[in-house]
Amino acid sequence: MTIRTRLTERLRIRHPVLSAPMAWAAGGRLAAAVSNAGGLGLIGGGYGDRDWLTREWAQAGNAVIGCGFITWSLDRKPELLQVALANAPRAVMLSFGDPRPYAEAIRSASAALICQVQTVRQAREALEAGADILVAQGSEAGGHSGTRATLPLVPEIVDLCAAEAPETLVLAAGGIADGRGLAASLMLGADGVLVGSRFWAAEEALVHPNALSRAVQASGDETLRSSVVDVVRGVDWPPPYAIRTLRNGFTERWHGQEEALAREGDAVRQAYADAAARGDMDTAAAIVGEAVGLIREIRPAAAILEAMVADAETWLVGGAGLVRPG
């Protein structure tokens, strides 16, 4: 069995599930594993490292995958879009910026243009850019997000598309880590889901084992959306975006003290980078969303995807069974 939606038709995939293009974590092996299992895997173009991107595309082998970029970062190195397009991506996803400068090139390469948005206003702009697919992302997501929540954001954007661009698909993102989240998203009117944290905790993801160990023990109560991690990494994110991570000693020390942290300078930055490299998770914060509380083990991406879809099928069939003669 499987779940058929407009997304599976449009992207010619078996399951209505995309893996998020998580910067540094979503390399070619993860993307290929998701695609080979019937979803669509997206490499994380992230902050624009050409060598990393080229290497990870090679790691994906012959799998049909896609790629995602942080748009404001791509603005600084727009030539990286060609690195992705040269690999014949099934889709290119743009998040956190104006997609219009890139829309024509993506369409000309026969890739689906996916625009991730955090508000209804941004959704309107993405429709003007000619997006094929909108990802409505809630602030419960891991990594960067806006301030709206997935559950009410998705149907509002679904309504917008139904009224103004009925051929445009909508995916839900943020807080979705299992079959329940997939089934719920379909009930909200989404055509599928984009999943981050659950695939971050896949065997194929490029994540330090110590970060994974923390994540599988954590409740969603233990995450924090803050600018601390961006400030200490020297990554110049524009407001209102912030990054959700697990709380740790470092985020507790500096959250609300970001300006003081910025004044600490290179020493604390280098110490943070070293901590991340060696897996000191009391300093380097694991980049996951609230759905971390639903993640209890590290598994291969294919097993994650298969369980998610099978569970969603069970919930969907069971849901219809709740409807009874009154």
Beta bridge pairs of residue 158: none
Give yes or no for residue 299 binding a second copy (CB under 8 A). Answer: no
Q: Are 242 and 207 in contact (CB under 8 A)?
A: no
The residue among 53 and 188 lying less far from a second copy, judged by its C-beta, is 188
Give yes or no for residue 136 binding a second copy (CB under 8 A). Answer: no
Q: What pairing do the DSSP bridges indicate for beta strands 192-195 and 242-246? A: unpaired
**Cα 31 to Cα 36: distance, rounded to the nearest angstrom:** 9
Give yes or no for residue 293 binding a second copy (CB under 8 A). Answer: yes
SS3 145: strand
DSSP 8-class letter at 221: G
Sign of the four-CA dihedral 73, 248, 292, 29: positive
Give yes or no for residue 220 binding a second copy (CB under 8 A). Answer: yes
Find the binder of a second copy among 63, 77, 109, 155 (CB under 8 A): 155
The string of DSSP codes covering 174-191 is SS--SHHHHHHHHHTT-S
Give yes or no for residue 176 binding a second copy (CB under 8 A). Answer: yes
The residue among 163 and 267 lying less far from a second copy, judged by its C-beta, is 163
CB neighbour list of residue 107: distance below 8 Å, 6 or more residues apart: 113, 130
**How many residues touch a second copy (CB under 8 A)?**
54
Amino acid occupying residue 89: P
Give yes or no for residue 86 binding a second copy (CB under 8 A). Answer: no
Sign of the four-CA dihedral 100, 131, 18, 245: positive
**Cα 196 to Cα 36: distance, rounded to the nearest angstrom:** 17
**Cα 209 to Cα 15: distance, rounded to the nearest angstrom:** 28
Number of other CB atoms surrounding residue 313 within 10 Å: 16
What is the closest distance, in whole angstroms, from the C-beta atom of residue 12 to a second copy in the complex?
14
How buried is residue 314: exposed, middle or buried, by Cβ count under 10 Å (0-12/13-18/19+)? middle
The residue among 104 and 159 lying less far from a second copy, judged by its C-beta, is 159
Of residues 7-36, which lie at the interface with a second copy (CB under 8 A)? 14
Q: Give the binding range for a second copy (CB under 8 A) out of 56-64, 70-78, 127-135, 177-185.
A: 177-185
Give yes or no for residue 138 binding a second copy (CB under 8 A). Answer: yes
Q: Give the binding range for a second copy (CB under 8 A) out of 91-99, 104-112, 185-193, 256-264.
A: 185-193
What is the closest distance, in whole angstroms, from the C-beta atom of residue 84 to a second copy in the complex?
30
Give yes or no for residue 61 binding a second copy (CB under 8 A). Answer: no
Q: Give the binding range for a second copy (CB under 8 A) out of 28-36, 70-78, 248-256, 291-299.
A: 291-299
The residue among 8 and 283 lying less far from a second copy, judged by its C-beta, is 8
Query: By the criterion CB under 8 A, which residues form the site for a second copy?
Result: 1-5, 14, 119-121, 138-140, 148-153, 155-156, 159, 174-178, 180-181, 183-189, 219-221, 289-291, 293-294, 313, 315-317, 319-320, 322-326
